Chains A and B, each alone.
Chain A
Amino acid sequence: MIYIMTLIMAGIVLYIDKKTLRRINAQERKVYLTLVLFFIIFNIIEQKKLYVNYFVPVEWVYNKIPVMKNIYSFLENKG
């Protein structure tokens, strides 16, 4: 159901924006459709709550950007 609803939402937006899609050139259309593809991917991830176990952007920044963890602990110690 999630897959179908996501595709329907993407389809509605593509239908509303059909004039734009016809008017733009091939490169712009590629960027446009990539954004729609990202929506389909991220919406499925979000609806299935996959990100909670695997990828939360805030946690990613906290864990992956080298000094962030140290800064956070330092500030927490300072109250």
Chain B
Amino acid sequence: MGTEKIDSSQFFIISLLYTLGSAIIFIPHIVIKHAQQNAWIASLLALVIGLLPLFLYFKINQRFPNDTFIQILEATFGTIGGKVVGFITIIGFHLNLTVMTFRDFGDFVFIHLLPETPLHVILILLVIVVAYAVKEGLEVIARAGQILVPIAIFFFLLSAVLLLKNSDFKNLLPIFNNGWKPVVRAALPNIGFPFLEAFALIILFPFVTPKEKRSKSMFWGIVIGGLMVAIAVIYSLIVFGVEYSSAKIYVPYLLGAEINIANVIQRIEVIIASIWIVSIFIKICILFLTTVMGIQQLFNSSNYRIYVLPLALLVIPLSIMVMPNMSYWSIIENIWPFYAALFAVFLPVVVLIVGSFKRKKGKQT
């Protein structure tokens, strides 16, 4: 497992930035599109429901406090079964999510910041930085998070204060005008993205000390991250209203363009985008790290760092292949919560049920 350790405050920051990740910039558009002015309720509902699977992960952590993810699966499904389930999970969830998040970042930079630059170049530059960070290890990524999180939160609060002048709280009314169904419908993609994605953090549990504070730090990191996403939804509504927010994909980024201080400080959306760039960088690093750790645990290798460069190579074509164009987002946003639930809800439930049967059987014999 190695000697790397992070403390609970670092794990809290990782969980927070991981939850913010790409959700802070994508979710407002998706939720507002379905629930209109009730999107903020949908976002809070998604936060409440999205926290429930965490208790499954905490229970697994309680039962297997020192085991790696693959060891947990091997203890549940046997050596070969555990490896097979582990392989499917690492490829189907961790690697899949890594390449999708890479693509999110690439698309955003390509559309808004560097439209003349080929997508491949943007992805190659990103993969170099991420591979370097992951080669340095979990501790370094956690320390980078510790340095970057105050900057991200400062810009978040600054933009929240500066945007109050342009806001109209009447955009949040009327509440439940179309009943509760659109709210539940809108909450579904938000549950899958980002709350079910927290499943990937299970791999990091053995590296967090002290053991007793793992659950608490992850829980509060995800709660605060989820609340920040909900605040981004509320601001998108009160500044732009329903029509504009449901038409534009990167609404929170466009919020930055609305800030105008005495006609001197304006067009600061790139500074606002830095919040997102910080969070998605940490999210990509963590996903990449969990994927290489998963591969290392699958093949009982001595160190995960040896697989960083070949996986960095592989991620580039895969992130282009994962969806040929942005129109595939409509499929992803609808099926992702259910696809993710196969790994993030169904698998932990099976692990816990089989684990308790085995324990009962062990006690009887």
Contacts and interface: CB of A to CB of B under 8 A. Distances in A.
A10 B301 CA distance: 22
Interface residues of A, number: 40
Contacts of B318: 42, 46
A36 B310 CA distance: 5
A57 B182 CA distance: 29
Contacts of B313: 9-10, 13, 35-36, 39
B306 A71 contact: no
Interface in B314-330: 314, 316-318, 320-324, 328
A56 B324 contact: yes
B339 A13 contact: no
A76 B334 contact: yes
Interface in B281-315: 295, 299, 301-302, 305-307, 309-314
Contacts of A56: 321, 323-324, 328
Contact of B314 (A31, A38, A62, A76): A38
A64 B317 CA distance: 22
A68 to B, nearest CB: 5
Contact of A72 (B311, B324, B334): B334
Contacts, number: 100
Given A35-B311, A42-B317, A57 B338 contact: no
B40 to A, nearest CB: 18
Interface string A38-74: 1100110111000110011111011001011001100
Nearest to A47: B317
B322 A57 contact: yes
B129 to A, nearest CB: 15
A66 to B, nearest CB: 11
B334 A71 contact: yes
Chain B contact surface mostly: helix
B216 interface: no
A69 to B, nearest CB: 9
Given A17-B309, A58-B323, A68-B335, A31 B301 contact: yes
Nearest to A38: B314
A72 B331 contact: yes
Nearest to B292: A35
B29 interface: no
Interface string B324-365: 100010011011001100000000000000000000000000
Contact of B321 (A20, A32, A42, A71): A42
A18 to B, nearest CB: 11
Contacts of A33: 310
B167 interface: no
A58 B305 CA distance: 29
B302 A28 contact: yes
Residue among A35, A55, A58, A68 facing the most chain B CB atoms (10 A cut-off): A58
A24 B307 CA distance: 11
Interface in B83-105: 96
B280 interface: no
B185 interface: yes
Contacts of A78: 181, 185
A79 B182 contact: yes
Contacts of A24: 301-302, 306
Residue among B302, B320, B323 facing the most chain A CB atoms (10 A cut-off): B320
Interface of B: 34, 96, 181-182, 185, 188, 295, 299, 301-302, 305-307, 309-314, 316-318, 320-324, 328, 331-332, 334-335, 338-339
3 shortest interchain CB distances as A-B pairs: A35-B310, A46-B317, A39-B313
21 contacts: A10-B313, A25-B302, A31-B301, A35-B310, A35-B311, A42-B318, A42-B321, A43-B316, A45-B317, A46-B318, A47-B317, A52-B324, A56-B321, A62-B331, A62-B335, A72-B334, A75-B185, A75-B334, A76-B334, A78-B181, A79-B34
